[in-house]
Chains A and B, each alone.
Chain A
Amino acid sequence: MLDAYIPVLLFVLVAIGFAIFTLMVSSLVQSSRYNRVKLEPYECGIEPVTDARDRYSVRYYLIAMLFVIFDVETVFMFPWAVIMDELALFGLIEMLVFLFILVLGYVYAWRKGALEWA
């Protein structure tokens, strides 16, 4: 029964190997001049460590919520795609209806200006 997991094991090994390989190659080729910015985990984007009582735009919430909604939609599409063959045309139409409703929400959000940052 465990045999079934051998491909997974192989996949994990290959992934780890690839990571080690890339890191080693890059350490060989790079020039090493460090500064403060360079040492941060992400060189661009949000400050990872700040004061908790900081003010930031409420639009983060809006964007985040919209992201979650559309993200969940994508998650729903995975199981659908797996049994797409069984569901046949009916399944396709169902998914189109689902997407249509979502697009409607998207249009609403867009028209309401939820996607504009300024």
Chain B
Amino acid sequence: MPAGFSALDFYYILPELLLTGGAMVVLLLAVLTPRNDNLLLGVSLGTLVASVLSVSLFSGLDVTAARGLLAVDSFAAFFKFIVLLSAGLTMLMSAPYLRVEGLKAGEYYFLILCATLGMMFMASGVDLITLFIGLETMAVSFYILAGFLKPNPRSNEAAVKYFLLGAFSLGVLLYGMSLVYGATGTTSLQGIAVALSGQSPSMVIVLAVVLIGAGMGFKIAAVPFHMWAPDVYEGAPTPVTAFLSVGSKAASFAMLLRIFVEALPAVAADWSALFWVLAVLTMTLGNIAALTQSNLKRMLAYSSIAHAGYLLIGVVVGTERGVASMLVYLGVYLFMQLGAFAIVVAMRRSDVVGDELKDLGGLFRRSPAAAFMMLLFMLSLGGIPPTAGFMGKVWLFGAAVDAGFVWLAVIAVANSAVSLYYYLRVVVFMWMHEDAQPGSPLVFGPAMTVALGIAILGTVVFGIYPQLLFEQAQAAAGTLEGFSATVALR
């Protein structure tokens, strides 16, 4: 074994190894056995569960592995749980969707597992190269997934757009990373922090901050790097959109926090200002654009952009508490966003596409259960108690006020008020508008029921009993290094 590596390193990447193995098994099953969607779903979910269990093996650890390429800490674990859970929910809601669309389940699940693998490396990488490889693994999987509806021109368009713009933004990101490497001579996040400490930041580093910020801003769909999001979200298969808006976003936030908080605390004031502007632009534009959308998926895309804006508040604040609040919000966002998308997926039936707002007309009369669940998700996204969305917003905005970013909090609250308009418009459609053309009845199969059940449970339980999530988030934020420098600067 080469120097610096040990058998322990393989133990530490057990969750990732399990995912890799599971993905290969799924791919082989897809070509070597007759088509059996349930088996493939079972194996994929089993892989995720095994990975979750192995992640929990390392709870409480705070070490680096593989010669300082990977960190095994609570921060990584938190994000791994989030991406694994969102992958699981995505798969569960995909099962009926694949059947309706007649898509190949094997490749689909394989790609989701690969994307999840990339996200996990983004969560635990503490080296620019590791992070970049993770990002690429995730991105390439998503390029294919976005175009998975082969006969659908919109889906193809989404894939091509996402690929070209993704490649472009990765170029920007790499440019930034190379500048950092040039200035410090290392790609290790800790090494960068050490090299930059104690000297006044050069213009090169500030330039790198902007470039990396732009590259990551693309991934989290922050304005003005968000242009791809509405088109891709609308064109991609709905479960993929859901996964893109939750899993990919969460992992990108993990990477963003790792790079900026751990490696660049020396220029904290600079990137804090950058993200302040990004956050305000993102939430304002996202919400205003969402107001007039008539397509449900497109509306949720803009809503997801707005949520990225809220989440950025945590980065702007940059303190341990800010990050913890942001993690709480991410955890909450996972349930409500995936739940809302699950309803949109359920609306897709053999004879109805169901992603237009008017398709929801009179849903309350046709399927009260679906309408009530959608109501809950919309209230949560809008931040109305007693749902989880409210608790998340309370902390996030509270953290901003606490750290002295009062104006940011005011803008965010005003934005939440604006957002209620379009969230409640969905409710108005479901309750008060005349029936849409009926189509075949909404059916919730077992997989969809489980997915919706988990989403509802999360949305309600964390609204009433948020402590559970909060403790995890606090522990996770606690293991992120570099806060002391941030605080010292302020």
Contacts and interface: CB of A to CB of B under 8 A. Distances in A.
A87 B2 CA distance: 6
Contacts of A15: none
A18 interface: no
B291 interface: no
Contact of A108 (B1, B2, B31): B31
B31 A107 contact: yes
Interface string A66-105: 0000000000000000000011001000000000010010
A53 interface: no
A111 interface: yes
A113 to B, nearest CB: 10
Contacts of A104: 24, 27-28
Interface string B6-28: 00000000000000000010011
A107 B28 contact: yes
Nearest to B5: A90
Contacts of A90: 1-2
Bin the interface of chain B by size: under 10
A26 to B, nearest CB: 48
B91 to A, nearest CB: 20
A112 interface: yes
B13 to A, nearest CB: 13
Nearest to B24: A104
Contacts of B28: 104, 107-108
B32 interface: yes
B27 to A, nearest CB: 6
Nearest to A113: B31
Bin the interface of chain A by size: under 10
A69 B169 CA distance: 24
A86 B2 CA distance: 8
A111 B104 CA distance: 14
B2 A111 contact: no
Contacts of A108: 27-28, 31
A80 B91 CA distance: 38
A111 B32 contact: yes
Contact of B24 (A86, A87, A101, A112): A101
Contacts of B24: 101, 104
A101 B31 CA distance: 15
A111 B24 CA distance: 14
B5 to A, nearest CB: 8
Given A101-B24, A104-B24, A111 B31 contact: yes
Nearest to B32: A111
17 contacts: A86-B2, A87-B2, A90-B1, A90-B2, A101-B24, A104-B24, A104-B27, A104-B28, A107-B28, A107-B31, A107-B32, A108-B27, A108-B28, A108-B31, A111-B31, A111-B32, A112-B31
Interface of A: 86-87, 90, 101, 104, 107-108, 111-112
Interface of B: 1-2, 24, 27-28, 31-32
Which 9 residue pairs of A and B lie closest in terms of their CB atoms, listed nearest first?
A: A111-B31, A90-B1, A108-B31, A104-B24, A108-B27, A112-B31, A104-B28, A111-B32, A87-B2
Given A86-B2, A101-B24, A108-B27, 6 more contacts: A87-B2, A90-B2, A107-B31, A108-B28, A111-B32, A112-B31
